[in-house]
Structure 1
Amino acid sequence: MLELRPNCECCDRDLPPESPDAMICTYECTWCRDCVDNVLHGVCPNCGGNLQPRPIRPAALLAKDPASTERVLREHCP
């Protein structure tokens, strides 16, 4: 199950579970759409993989399987 991390690892922008701007790689590295387009150019700097929109977990299921609250921030964002 996806962690649904709460922030962009590059700029630390909040990305709530329902955000259409959250992008992830196959390892769930999480980025905002702005950083993906303008800083990362569609490539995850952690694994080199491509980035896709993060699925949105329906609100009714968030009570059973809540989003992560652990913030991850990359020290040096390209």
Structure 2
Amino acid sequence: MSLKMKSTCERCGNGLAPTDECYICHYECTFCPSCTDQQDAVCPNCNGELVRRPRPPN
């Protein structure tokens, strides 16, 4: 099973490239670092922890 590499922050709508730093919850809700900080690393959809999304292999 692979991650859905979403290309936009779900809060602010900024674009996210596959290699950009971004954060996801268990359900793969995706947020940029700034929005993650503003939400105290908690997903507003499920209240789960937001963790750094792994980068795809080279």
Q: TM-score, normalised by structure 2?
A: 0.92
Give SS of 1:56's match: coil
Question: Superposed, which structure 2 residues align to 1:1-78 within 5 Å?
Answer: 1-20=2-21, 22-38=22-38, 40-59=39-58
* Runs of 4+ displaced beyond 3 Å: none
Match of 1:75 in 2: none
User: RMSD of aligned C-alpha atoms?
Assistant: 0.8
For residues 20-46 of structure 1, give each alpha carbon's deviation from its aligned partner in whole angstroms, at most 9, with x where no partner exists: 2x10001000000100102x1111010
Match of 1:64 in 2: none
- State the structure with more CA Rg: 1
Task: Say which structure is richer in helix.
Answer: 1
Gaps of 5+ in 1: 60-78
Identity, in percent, stands at: 44
Asked which structure has the greater RCO (Cα within 8 Å, sep 6+), the reply is: 1
The count of corresponding residues between Structure 1 and Structure 2 is: 57
